[in-house]
Amino acid sequence: QLPLVELVEAWENSVRGGSTVARKGLSEDVVSMLKCLGKHFPEEVSLDRVLGAKAPKKQRTVADDAAEILEASHYQEMPILPTSAEMIGHCAFEVQENMQTYEKCVDYIQTHFMLLREDYIEPLRAGIKLFMQGRHSPKDLHVYTGVKVVGVLSTWEGLVYRIELRPEETRKINWEKSKQLMYGSLLCFSDDDFSSLIWATVWRRDPALISGKAQLDIRLPFDPWDDRLSPGKMFCCIENVTIYFEAYRHVLIALQNMRAADVPFQQTLLTPQPDALPPTYLKEETDMFHFHNVFSNCEKADAEVAAPKSFRILAEWPPALRQALDLDPSQLDAVQHALTHQMALIQGPPGTGKTFVGLKIVQALLDNTRNLRHSPILVVCFTNHALDQFLEGIFKFCESIVRIGSRSKSEQMMRRNLKELVMEVKASREFIQARKSLTDRRDYLRDELVKAMKLVDSHTVSAAQAKSLMSEQQFETFYQGFLDCLGDDKGDFPEDPWVVDDDVWSRVMKEWLGTSDPAKLAPVPIRQEGGLPSFKNFGLEEESDDDDPLFGGKDGDEEEAENEMYERKLDVDNEQTEQVDEKKKPGSRMDFFQELHYAWLPYLEEYYETLTPEMRNLDWRQEDLWRLHREHRRECYRQWLLEAHEEARGILPELAHLLERNAESRAALDRDRKLAVLREMQVVGMTTTAVSKYQLLLKELRPEIVIVEEAAEVLEAHILTALHPRTQHVVLIGDHQQLRPSTAVYRLSKQFHLDVSLFERLIHNGADHVTLLQQRRMHPKISRLIKPYYPQLRDHSSTERYPEIRGINARSYFMTHFHFEDDEGESHSHLNTFEANFVSALCAHLVSCGYEESQITVLSPYLGQVRLLKKRIQRDPTTQQIAVTAVDNFQGEENDIIVISLVRSNRARQMGFLAVENRINVALTRARHGIFIVGNADMLEKHTLWSQILTELKSDQCFGDTLPLVDKEQKGVFEVKSADEISVFLDSKLHETGGEGMMTVDEYRRSLEAKRSKGQKGSRKGKGDPGPRWFDSGKAIPSSSDRGRNDSNDAWERRDKASWATEHVLPRAEADRDEQDAPGKADQDDGKRGKKQKKQKQKQVLVMRG
């Protein structure tokens, strides 16, 4: 038998890689052979995919309807910010797909730079286009009109602008919780109908300042000054909340600063070589490793041979290790592979102990490479939570750890934060002197900035300005003219013109101009608001969703649960923390604010264009100023004012750049102090975002060993920026069959393979790697569900000894239903109210059966359903502490009980995220003891993996349209199919949803006894067909004995019958006739029955419905 799949994949790789044969084209006989294979093996061979493997190349840009495709410049010359052509002209730069191989390193960096840049620019381009057409969603785009600049701040980071919004646009927002206008958000400003754009990021959003004055601080990302951001203008500002620029900016800057020569392991990264090489620091004379500490807690108590503790790792490892160590063979292989390969890849399926193996690798490297390396080991994780866990594990055998980044939730790691450790070290005298020098220089520049700002902000000409504008003779003549006008009434005016101060000069100007307020003569331009309509036209008067007490974040338009990873990408240290601390110090001038009151005046050249020829030809330097007509005098004054204004305004860009350089020098000084601490450590821990942000720090630290956990979740560009020319050893640990890296633009994943991580790309390229093969998390009844995905995965014997599930007569169960998902409404996310009600009731039942809330986690692939589930679950006091989260946020986590709400149920059979195998894998592998899935199975039957999962569940009756609950009092098994029916087990009506046709709990129990007296057991008969439901009145729907059948032909007929039964509840009388053995019928009128039963409150449950 031919390995067709492997052959086809090899051919695809050859074509995508641009092999010589592929470039020359296919001969006719090869095409004929492929067509023959395609005819006889249509499932294995896709001619469209093979012969058209290069078709994606035709898709040169991600934009759907780009007006023009622009050729990209060299990545070091490309602007990181969007260009006007991209935003206004709807043009797009050409991008290349993430190839499996690259011929040149420059192309490699260029490709990832352009793909990452396009991932944040395409949402901006699409959003502005929709905005200009008036078709944007207020949830995707926040639009603010009438925005104005009200001041400038000088901070240790450089110059910052303070802007003011309309109070009516900020009044209804809870700024303590809102993610609107949060730190790092990218804002687009325009005052000319978006003919030109100004980009800025939110630098600080103080809740008190924005709530009280509607003001916040912004900063230009690259250039410290933009003259267009001037007071007096009214801007329209757009914030696109679908992307977070701060998460892209640092990576793009790092890539742009990278040279081809800086990239290590080029033979592996670009064109993988067949022979894997050991790290360059390992030689024959340095490969003797000692494993006394590594193997100390791994030896078998009953081992017949002792484990060797020292041996040469580049030679064959002693066979006795496998006999003496309590490590499965794949774990030992992984340790050996990681220590002996300069680019090591370890795939860890769920529950196989990736972190455990990673810790053993770190311990071995720490014990044996101390004299072989000159820098600490760099540990990188995708999330803060994973980084904390990994570092806590290392801390048990090595306390010389430092964590860079301030978002740790671990108390232990917070004490190992770099900022904390730096503060513990007394600053040197040289550092203090250098810092004082920079502070003095900064204060001098600030004073100069204040002087210039006051001159620019003024609408009058001061005495000093007049003296500098006029010649000495002209000024003396002009002042003498003023004294002559006064005659004998000179009062206390000085005779000497050079001692005239601003008070005297003000009286001179009022006399000369014939006005009591010379400021009114300033030629302030009449500004338009960019021709933009009122904010009310953008839907911003609506109530903000941020006031939801349960969810402080934005009520997103994100359809996908993976966009919850948007928040995981926000691992950017908020520098405001340090700034707040410094401002508390006595006498500190950390942030200096200069308020601006007046509109800035036009430049002389602009102003002259508005004048008549007569006024334009007026040369005040050649005139006797006191003989001029009033209008000519006032025109002279305007020209004086504009000349002084322009001179002061011209100084501002230079001062801004000098302050920026001062801030950079201060940062370099602090960096040297941090480096001194880092070089004393053995392990440095960072998130992938922090790696990009602290590039200059890492460049000087020069880590030789880099270990990346969750490597398959990380975009290749992030890992690339963690590597440096001196890096000799990289260990990537992950699982490309779980979650892939997330992208903002789906087409970049689908057509340009941006979501393929370096880990996955190298494995597909045939790079040597080790896969862990024994899982120790899931009970075999749970792990069997993913065996089609991991055929070689084995269960450790300890997983069979888990306790039985309390309250449910199953360990893994899929309860199917036919209740359609809710209409989307304004949100793009999906909801299913039936599932939310059922799951919340089920959680309450599990807690009532003895489970702690911390033992239960509820998962859903959709954010909308996560929010709905939280509302439903948190309304019950007994379940308020149960964790509810999106599937994408729970990778790497586990719990005893997992309940999953699949959500999707529709006539079009659109599966959405349920069709993504990586997500299916993550969702089904989080549970240790029990997993319970609620969803519409008919939606999933045509999906290959889901079909295999459902078949496995049906094989031992772990599938049905009812869920077998165990009554803790009666110890019987009873089938339920709605939240109302679960309510019969709960001492609360909290989970009842309607109340139609309910019966009392006493009636239900008497019915049970009657059935048992007839020999009908209420429990499931082992692994055979389950018994009948405890209350069966549904004649028109399939009986419970049909539950295990896989009859797809009548699936939708059953769905329609079920839907009918839901909408048309069987009359109470008919239900009673069907249940003749149940004595004590309840009154049909629920209201009357309620009055009759005041003395004895009883639980109620719905009659069985479809």
Spatial CA neighbour of 154 closest among 444, 455, 436, 573: 444
* pLDDT tens track for 950-975: 999 999 999 999 999 998 776 788 89
pLDDT surpassing 50 at residue 151: yes
Measured between alpha carbons, how far is 461 from 641 in angstroms, rounded to an integer? 6
Question: Amino acid identity, residue 580?
Answer: V
Q: What pLDDT, on the 0 to 100 scale, is given for residue 175?
A: 85
- Asked if residue 48 has pLDDT above 60, the reply is no
Least confident range from 43-52, 536-545, 798-807: namely 536-545
pLDDT digit string, tens, across residues 476-529? 999 988 888 888 777 778 888 898 898 999 999 999 999 999 999 999 887 654
Query: What does the pLDDT read at residue 1038?
Result: 36
pLDDT-derived band at 104, boundaries 50, 70, 90? very high
Yes or no: say if 169 and 544 are a contact pair by the CB < 8 Å rule. no
- Cα–Cα distance for residue pair 948/956, rounded to 1 Å: 14
749 has a pLDDT exceeding 60: yes
Amino acid symbol at 80: I
DSSP 378-389: EEEESSHHHHHH
Local structure of residue 601 (DSSP, 8 states): P
Higher pLDDT, 1084 or 160: 160
pLDDT, position 132? 86
Statement: residue 1104 has pLDDT above 80: no
For residue 1064, the model assigns a pLDDT of 35
Cβ neighbours of 667 (radius 10 Å): 15
- How much is the pLDDT for 12? 55
pLDDT value of position 956 = 92
Own/partner contacts of 873-881, CB < 8 Å, gap of 24 or more, are: 873/839, 873/840, 873/843, 874/550, 875/840, 875/990, 876/840, 876/843, 876/844, 876/988, 876/990, 876/991, 878/844, 878/847, 878/848, 878/853, 879/840, 879/843, 879/844, 879/847, 879/853, 880/853, 881/853, 881/854
Is 938's pLDDT higher than 50? yes
Q: How high does pLDDT run on average in the chain?
A: 81
DSSP 400: -
Q: 117 φ, ψ to 5°?
A: -65, -45
**Over residues 706-713, mean pLDDT:** 95
Task: Specify the amino acid at residue 438.
Answer: L
> Nearest Cα to 366, choosing from 726, 732, 705?
705
Closest Cα partner for 110 from 153, 61, 63, 73?
A: 73
What one-letter code names the amino acid at 598?
Answer: Y
Residue 573: the pLDDT is 37
CB 671 within 8 A of CB 665: no
Instruction: Pick 565 or 188 by higher pLDDT.
Output: 188
Q: Is 1105 helix (H, G, I), strand (E, B) or coil?
A: coil
Residues shown for the chain: 1106
* Residue-level pLDDT at 843: 96
Helix or strand holding residue 1001 (H, E): helix 1001-1013
Cα 255 → chain centroid: 20
Whole-number pLDDT of residue 590? 66
- Return the bridge partners of 686, or none: 380
**Pick from 362, 344, 335, 330: nearest CA to 278:** 344
Give the position of tokens 């599937």.
Answer: 887
pLDDT, tens digit, 9 for 90 and up, residues 841-884: 999 999 999 999 999 999 999 999 999 999 999 999 999 999 99
Q: Which residue has the higher pLDDT, 469 or 1048?
A: 469
Banded pLDDT at 572 (limits 50, 70, 90): very low
Write the pLDDT tens digit of every residue in 627-644: 899 999 999 999 999 999
DSSP state, 299? B
> Can you give the pLDDT at residue 1026?
38
Q: How confident is the model at residue 1043 (pLDDT cuts 50, 70, 90)?
A: very low
Rounded-to-integer distance, Cα 589 and Cα 154, Å: 9
Question: What is the C-alpha to C-alpha distance for residues 911 and 21, in angstroms, rounded to an integer?
Answer: 39
How far out from the chain centre does Cα 666 lie? 31
Distance CA 655, CA 651 (A): 6
pLDDT at position 170, please? Answer: 87
List Cα–Cα distances, 607 to 191, 466, 625, in angstroms.
19, 20, 21
State the pLDDT at residue 485: 85
Q: Are 683 and 402 in contact (CB under 8 A)?
A: yes
Location of structure tokens 């806590």: 392
Say which residues have a Cβ less than 8 Å from residue 575's Cβ, sequence separation at least 6: 157
Identity of the amino acid at 371: N
Mean pLDDT of 584-609: 77
Structure tokens at 149: 């600049």
Residues 55-82, mean pLDDT to the nearest whole number: 79
Rounded CA-CA distance 150/157 in Å is 19
964 by DSSP, 3-state: which? strand
Distances (CA, A) of 154 to 33, 219, 370, 796, 964: 71, 11, 45, 61, 67
Instruction: Give residue 1010's pLDDT band: very low, low, confident or very high (50, 70, 90).
Output: low
Give residue-wise pLDDT tens across range 644-665.
Answer: 999 999 999 999 999 999 999 9
DSSP 714: S
Single-letter code of the amino acid located at 621? R
Strand, coil or helix: 161 = strand
Averaged pLDDT for residues 621-629:
87
Tell me the CA end-to-end span of the chain in Å, nearest whole number: 49
Question: What pLDDT, on the 0 to 100 scale, is given for residue 772?
Answer: 97
Residue 129 pLDDT greater than 60, yes or no: yes
Least confident of 61-70, 740-749, 927-936, 1027-1036: 1027-1036
Residue 449 has pLDDT above 70, yes or no: yes
Angle at 252 (CA atoms; ends 246, 258), nearest 5 degrees: 145
Task: Say whether pLDDT at 1081 is over 90.
Answer: no
Q: Over 446-499, what HEC string results?
A: HHHHHHHHHHHHCCCCCHHHHHHHCCHHHHHHHHHHHHHHHCCCCCCCCCCHHH
Q: How confident is the model at residue 551 (pLDDT cuts 50, 70, 90)?
A: very low
135 CB-contact burial (10 Å; exposed 0-12 / middle 13-18 / buried 19+): exposed
CA angle, residues 50, 52, 54, in degrees to nearest 5: 105
Residue 1063: predicted pLDDT? 36
Number of Cα atoms under 13 Å in the Cβ half of residue 1065? 12
Q: Residue 60 — very low, low, confident or very high, per pLDDT cuts 50/70/90?
A: confident
pLDDT at 1071: 35
Q: What pLDDT, on the 0 to 100 scale, is given for residue 992? A: 86
3-class DSSP state of 1058: helix
Helix (H, G, I), strand (E, B) or coil at 143: strand
pLDDT digits (tens, 9 = 90+) for 389-448: 999 999 999 999 999 987 788 899 999 999 899 999 999 999 999 999 999 999 999 999
Burial class (CB in 10 A: 0-12, 13-18, 19+), 1014: exposed
Q: Is 162 helix (H, G, I), strand (E, B) or coil?
A: strand
The CB density around residue 537, as the number of other CB atoms within 10 Å, is 12
For residues 1086 and 1102, give the distance between their C-alpha atoms in angstroms, rounded to a whole number.
12
pLDDT at 201 (0 to 100): 95
- 26 pLDDT above the threshold of 70: no
Nearest to 738 by CA among 408, 389, 386, 407: 386
Q: What is the mean pLDDT of residues 1004-1024?
A: 49
Pick the closest to residue 867 from 896, 895, 842, 903 (CA basis): 903
Cα–Cα dist 267/278, whole Å: 13
**Residues paired with 147 in a beta bridge:** 235
Structure tokens at 927: 């549970």
Percent of the chain with pLDDT over 70: 78
Distances, alpha carbon 969 to alpha carbons 75, 805, 844, 978, in Å: 70, 16, 16, 20
Is 70 exceeded by the pLDDT of residue 1031? no
Give the residue among 709, 674, 685, 691 at the shortest CA–CA distance from 416: 685
* Spatial CA neighbour of 939 closest among 978, 913, 977: 913
- What local confidence, expressed as pLDDT, does residue 417 receive? 92
CA nearest to 900, candidates 850, 843, 948, 954: 843
Q: Which amino acid is at 876?
A: D
Q: What is the largest CA-CA distance in the chain?
A: 128
Cα-only R_g, the chain: 36
Spatial contact of 811 and 841, defined as CB atoms under 8 Å apart: no
